Amino acid sequence: MSDNAPRQCILVIDDDPAQLMLLGHILYPLYDVKMAKSGEAGLELAEKHNIDLILLDLVMQGMSGFEVLAQLKESDETKHIPVIFITGSDSNEDEAKGLALGAVDYIRKPFTEVVVSLRVKIHLQLIAQMRTIENLSLTDGLTGINNRRSFDQMIKSTWSYSKRANESFSVLMLDIDKFKQFNDKHGHLNGDTCLKTVAHTIRKSLERGSDEVYRWGGEEFAVVLPYTRLDGAMLIAERIRENIAATPIHVGEGTVFITVSIGVGSVAPTHMYTDEAFLNFCMGLDKALYRAKENGRNRVEKV
């Protein structure tokens, strides 16, 4: 890991102060460590922080480790965090129950520093490898931005937390104007340059870290704007449209300029995500984008 890379974060949940102190002594030099003295406190920390791995005591006052793990797996924010049980039990039934609930490993007491360090290191390496694979599968190979699969995942989570927070979110659907003519005239390699330039320009036009751009497919792009109402989304769409129109596309020894048409929609979810609800929302976006094309291109239309 690079010296400048953020430390991986480990949450330790144990009601024994001596155990917390010992695990802190082992883990603090290499990782960002959060400590919780109860299951309830651990669940709260897991929701608030970006946790990479949880070490969870099996037997605690109040909530047991099994109960904590079950609640972790019920939450969209925490269900993917790997959990290692710490236990003094050698019961095969306990181990089977923990693995069935979703625990990835057991560390048995009394443990040694070497065993804890190696088990934690192995699981964090596996997590890093899985995230690398996942990132590759969620990234468009040509433009380097998020792909359609990534969009499908993000829209579901955005829909869910917008419903919980009683907030609106918005989506922009963009299409490069006369892209087929551009390809026919300048060739597909320059067409690829055009797509990469548009993707880069959209990304630069987004000022909030929560806003994301996706390659929807072909010459179409989508932008997801959490906590954004329609009026704010229209302003962002106009900024993107203007920036793209002003950005030169380098073609051989010369430059050309292209434009985009944009459809804008906003929704304040009142029910949980369904494919049908999102399809209806997308149909409105498509109609707005079609109107932008019909009304002369290089313009923004709202649902």
pLDDT tens across 27-86, in order? 999 999 999 999 999 999 999 999 999 999 999 998 999 999 999 999 878 988 999 999
Q: Which of 219, 220, 242, 294 is catalytic?
A: 219
Low-confidence ranges of the chain (pLDDT < 50): 1-2
Is the CA virtual torsion 192, 197, 200, 201 positive or negative?
A: negative
Q: What is the pLDDT of residue 157?
A: 86
Residue 4: predicted pLDDT: 60
What pLDDT, on the 0 to 100 scale, is given for residue 219?
96
Closest by alpha carbon to 222, among 264, 258, 163, 182? 264
The pLDDT value recorded for residue 3 is: 55
pLDDT at 110: 85
User: Looking at residue 17, what is its pLDDT?
Assistant: 92
Q: Does residue 212 have an active-site annotation?
A: no
The CATH-assigned architecture of domain 9-137 is: 3-Layer(aba) Sandwich (3.40)
What pLDDT was estimated at residue 265? 97
Cβ partners under 8 Å of residue 226, min gap 6 = 158, 161, 162, 167, 169, 210, 211
Closest CA to 173 of 278, 33, 53: 278
Tokens of 205: 């036009």
Quick check: pTM over 0.75?
Answer: no
Query: CATH number for the 148-302 domain, one of 3.30.70.270, 3.40.640.10, 3.30.565.10, 3.40.50.10470?
Result: 3.30.70.270
Q: How far apart are CA 124 and CA 258, in angstroms?
A: 45
Tokens of 234: 């229209």
What ranges do the domains of the chain cover?
A: 9-137, 148-302
